[in-house]
Amino acid sequence: MSAAQPTGIYVHVPFCRHACRYCDFHFSTLLKQIPEVVAAMGREAELRIPHETPARTLYWGGGTPSVLPDAEFRALNATLRQRIVLEPDAECTLEVNPEDVTPDRVALWRSEGFNRLSIGVQSFRDDRLDWMGRPHRGQDAVDAVRRAQDAGFEDLSIDLIYGLPGSSLGE
Ligand code: SF4
């Protein structure tokens, strides 16, 4: 990785509360090892990211970054931000699931320097969410978007899945 040109940092957070039916990334078995795995991720970041690496974007994807407990979230974020120098208008994104977007958590993410959320909505229909094996309800997704906006996130995206078996073009 060159430190000369601003770069994009992607952090893969390999944890999920459960395995969604359509997904090949099943990290639910790692949940009990969050402290050890996050500590190892921090050590790897220290080994691989040169000091003062300029960055224009920071993106935490998964898996589900929003399952990280506060302590591990803060520790990993601190380690990363000690290694990189973000540009003033850098985009810092966190992938989150609707059920994790509580007022406390969204305030924490904001205070930790994230300015964009990517919310795993997938569908606003409960029957489709049941088919996918997602734990949230359509209303939870609406609430999550509003909570994020209330906390000051102006830059939001949502994931939506379409073309499920039995769904119509109109749907
Ligand atoms: S939460 Fe995301 S990464 Fe995890 S199993 Fe579901 S779709 Fe896959």
107-152 pLDDT per residue, tens: 999 999 999 999 999 999 999 999 999 999 999 999 999 999 999 9
pLDDT at 4: 63
Q: Which residues contact 31 (CB under 8 A, 6 or more apart)?
A: 15, 16, 17, 67
Question: Would you state the pLDDT for residue 5?
Answer: 87
Pocket test for ligand 1, best of 26, 67, 94, 130 (most atoms within 8 A of CB): 26
Determine if ligand 1 sits within 6 Å of the CB of residue 19. yes
Check if 62 has its Cβ closer than 6 Å to any atom of ligand 1.
Answer: yes
Provide the 10 A C-beta neighbour count for residue 62. Answer: 21
Q: Are strands 84-96 and 53-62 parallel, antiparallel or unpaired?
A: parallel
What is the pTM (predicted TM-score) of this model? 0.93
Measuring CA to CA, which residue among 147, 72, 152, 82 is closest to residue 115? 152
Higher pLDDT, 19 or 101: 101
Is residue 28 a contact partner of residue 18, using CB atoms and an 8 Å limit?
Answer: yes
For residue 61, with 0-12 CB atoms within 10 Å meaning exposed, 13-18 middle and 19 or more buried, which class applies?
A: middle
What pLDDT, on a 0 to 100 scale, did the predictor assign at position 25? Answer: 79
pLDDT given at position 145: 98
- pLDDT for 1 equals 53
Residue-level pLDDT at 3: 46
Facing residues of 116 across strands? 93, 155
pLDDT reported for residue 169: 87
pLDDT at position 27 is 76
Q: Dump pLDDT digits (tens) for 12-45.
A: 999 998 889 999 876 777 888 999 999 999 999 9
Under 8 Å between Cβ of 42 and 82: no
| Mean pLDDT rounded to a whole number for the chain | 94
Written as one letter, the residue type at 156 is L
Q: Is 63 in the pocket of ligand 1 (CB under 6 A)?
A: yes
What are 158's two structure tokens?
A: 């949502």
Enumerate the β-bridge partners of residue 49.
none
What mean pLDDT is predicted for residues 147-158? 98
Check if 16 has its Cβ closer than 6 Å to any atom of ligand 1: yes
